[in-house]
A and B are shown apart, each in its own frame.
Chain A
Amino acid sequence: MTPLTPRDRGRRFRMLTAAGAGLLLVPLAAACGSGGSGGSGAIKIGVPAPLSGDSASAGQDILAAAKVAADEINKAGGVDGRKIQIVEADDQCSAQQGAQAAQKLLNSGVVAVAGGYCSGAAVPAIPIYGRRGVPFVMDASTNPSLTDSGKGKVFRTCGRDDNQGLVAARFMTGPLGAKRIALLHDNTTYAKGLADAAANSARQAGGQVVYENALQPGQSDYGPVLTKIASTRPDVLYFTGYFAEAGLLMKQRKQLGLRFTLMGGDATTDSTVLKTAGAAAGGYIATTAPLAKDLPAAAAFVSAYKAANHADPGPFSVYEYDAVKVVAKAIDDAGSTRGAAITEALHKIKGFPGITGPITFDAKGDRTDPLYITVQVQGGAFTAYKKLDESGATWVDAKTS
């Protein structure tokens, strides 16, 4: 057992007071007893994700990936001789549930958090973790404001929407040769942020934004929206929402016989889209961080994931895997489970060999080398298509790396 810090002594005092005050207060005291150092039980790492609701399948994929990472760490002897335990919480991809999930994780005594999916759920969660000093490594929440205002306790293994928006705009005005660009989002923090970023970058790149509006998720019928968009005569429609609507948009665009190119953001690269859209998915382009199958370093993870879950990893599974791994590494480096120590260790990590590439965080907590590529649906699967070369100026074939 490591020596008690003043904070821990305070906590112990509170525990004693609570015990004295009566049994009713015991649960409260247990709730306060999180994040302490020492102890010989498992080290708890929280995974908030949408386990129910429209984005549930993405959330399940994230949780499954976290468990694969934890299993691997535990089989290799754990961290500091202690096992890693994954504690899940359902954030339902909503702000309200996001805050509750964060509170639930803290109450169950997690020392760090690795997960999240929707930026909208991360927004209220960040200050809750922050007040406890518990670091939060996000795997899929890509809104720029999250790390811009996170004051250094927030990290992410994924890229940022402004990065993705830039890549999307350059692709549309470059290889696609689009002049008139339509943007469609769904009013979520992520989708609106990405649409705004893409609109700004597109205007700078000389494109004309002819339509920018939101659809209402869950309506199933986007024929009227598509008809309206078609009346603005765009060359390309960039949809920045989630996969549930993307598949329907593809299908209904084909039913209506509309000819503009349909592109999407990284939340649309789920295999559900391919089943929903069927033949209408052919040629669909999405901007995304590289998928598991495009990452040679992820091969071992993919087979471990398949063995455990009898399914392919989801689009963000690799980023969740890396998030759990990098948190474990930071706990190991810090030799402590105190939030401040883990945060400091995370900032010190340089070139950690993640399966998504080397991981180094900048002062804000963003990856220093986030890379987005475009993928295209070919033969019923998302296939790596084009990416910007290292100079950031020329498009090259993404498969050659």
Chain B
Amino acid sequence: MSEFVQYLVNGLTIGAFLALIALGYSMIYGVVRLINFAHGDVFMIGAFAGFGTLTALGATGGMALPAILAAVVVGALTTGVVGTGIARAAYVPLLSSPRLALLIAAIGVSLALEEGVKVLTDARFKSYPHALDGGRILSGAVHVTWGQLVLVVLSVALMAALWLFVTRTVTGTAMRALAMDRDAARLQGINVERLILTTFFIGSLLAGAAGVMYGLYYVQISFGMGFLIGLRAFTAAVLGGIGNLPGTMAAGVCIGLVQSFSAGYVSSRWTDVIIFGLLIAVLALRPTGLFGERVVERA
């Protein structure tokens, strides 16, 4: 029983990161109809930007909460800018081209980012300062650390902020309009190009924040870390009904749980088989995702 609870706690923590990254896939798909394969690498760049910030601040052990928040903010803003730049340089010029051109551009951007960071970091693993190592909330049969709680709370706060932004602001409403029909939105006087860039900014921002949180939690980061986690987040986005934000959040947490339970009860080498098997099953049986239709609520 204690094992089960432990897997549950671990799964929820991973799920919190995955949900944040998956939201980016979902939002960008919503407005541009593009699976942004560079999204995992944007996440990776966030982790490196946060690493740079923490190194510059000289943050080491203990719960240096201001330093952690500063790293999350800098990491998120960096990827926001990077993501917008990518969209401006590689995707916006291709908006009226066939979908395939966009997809191939995304793969190219992904490889360019990965190889770029590889060259800049000598292909070496970097280790975050152990800023979240202090203290456990629960110890004994089940372990929960303060670090885990901080990360989950941060994720939930970011998701809530996104939800408020999408539902309560003019820009958010315009985004939803754009997701429903690009041409109709343009006719209503919406600056489509600028709004697409805004969407990339926000989606990348969330991925960057997740990158820093990942770095704080696992400590070890490398240029290749975005690929697998990006694919898993993509799976979560599909599972949640790509474009459907609440569905994506829920599915992110589900994938985190699947990862944790499959590694615990089956074997860690089966985790990817199970997750991607699930992706195929969902695409085959319920292409709109497990969480309902993607009609109105996509942003």
Residues of A within 8 A of B (CB): 51-54, 56-57, 60, 187, 213-216, 218-225, 227-228, 231, 244, 247-248, 251, 255-257, 272, 275-276, 278-279
Contact = CB atoms under 8 A, between A and B. Distances in A.
B222 interface: yes
B269 A215 contact: yes
Contact of A53 (B224, B261, B268): B224
Contacts of A227: 3, 6-7, 264
B68 to A, nearest CB: 16
A272 B145 CA distance: 24
Interface stretch (B24-32, B124-132, B178-186, B194-202): B124-132
Contacts of B7: 223-224, 227
Interface residues of B, number: 39
A41 B222 CA distance: 40
27 contacts: A52-B123, A54-B222, A57-B122, A57-B124, A60-B122, A187-B269, A214-B268, A216-B263, A218-B228, A219-B259, A219-B268, A220-B225, A220-B229, A221-B14, A224-B10, A227-B6, A227-B7, A227-B264, A244-B220, A248-B219, A251-B219, A255-B143, A255-B145, A257-B139, A275-B219, A276-B127, A278-B130
A278 B122 contact: no
Nearest to A52: B123
Given A57-B122, A219-B268, A257-B136, 6 more contacts: A60-B124, A221-B218, A227-B3, A276-B125, A278-B61, A278-B219
B218 A228 contact: no
B228 A219 contact: yes
Contacts of B167: none
A223 B225 contact: no
A95 to B, nearest CB: 17
A272 B127 contact: yes
Given A214-B269, A272-B127, A276-B220, A221 B263 contact: yes
B124 to A, nearest CB: 5
Interface string B109-141: 000000000100011110100100100100110
Contacts of A279: 61, 130, 133
Given A272-B220, A276-B220, A224 B143 contact: no
A222 B123 CA distance: 23
Given A57-B122, A255-B145, A279-B130, A221 B264 contact: no
A225 to B, nearest CB: 5
B267 interface: yes
B269 to A, nearest CB: 5
Contact of B143 (A54, A213, A251, A256): A256
A216 B268 contact: yes
Interface in B223-240: 224-225, 228-229
B199 to A, nearest CB: 28
A60 B125 CA distance: 12
Contacts of B225: 218, 220
A272 B133 contact: no
Interface in B208-266: 214, 218-220, 222, 224-225, 228-229, 259-261, 263-265
B21 to A, nearest CB: 13
A216 B271 contact: yes
A216 B272 contact: yes
A109 B95 CA distance: 48
A224 B263 contact: yes
Contacts of A187: 269
Nearest to B130: A278
Nearest to A256: B143
A51 B218 CA distance: 24
A223 B10 contact: yes
A221 B220 contact: no
B125 A221 contact: no
A52 B115 CA distance: 10
A221 B123 contact: no
B6 A256 contact: yes
Contacts of A256: 6, 143
A195 to B, nearest CB: 14
B268 A244 contact: no
B9 to A, nearest CB: 9
Contacts of B61: 278-279
Nearest to A53: B224
Interface in B263-293: 263-265, 267-269, 271-272
A70 B187 CA distance: 69
A284 to B, nearest CB: 15
Contacts of B214: 220
Contact of A272 (B125, B218, B228): B125
